[in-house]
Amino acid sequence: MGRLIKALLLLVVLGFLALVGYAYYPGNLVPQPVEVRVPVTLNGD
């Protein structure tokens, strides 16, 4: 029973570390800023 609790605790710690690593990963998770221009026709009549 003790090994089961230790294994579960290990999985919880590893999951937390994976979540923190995913949240702060400084790689390609940030989208590149791109300017978008779309013409708009306004009907003022």
- Bigger pLDDT: 4 vs 1: 4
Structural domain including 10 reads: 1-25
pLDDT score at 28? 61
Within-domain flag for 16: yes
Residues 5, 10: Cα–Cα separation, whole Å: 8
Q: Is 12 helix (H, G, I), strand (E, B) or coil?
A: helix
Global pTM? 0.53
Residue 4's nearest CA partner among 36, 26, 12, 28 is: 12
pLDDT score at 37? 95
pLDDT score at 1? 86
* The token pair that represents 17 in the structure block: 């570390």
pLDDT score at 25? 74
Q: Count up the domains in the chain and report the number.
A: 1
11 pLDDT band, cuts 50/70/90, is: very high
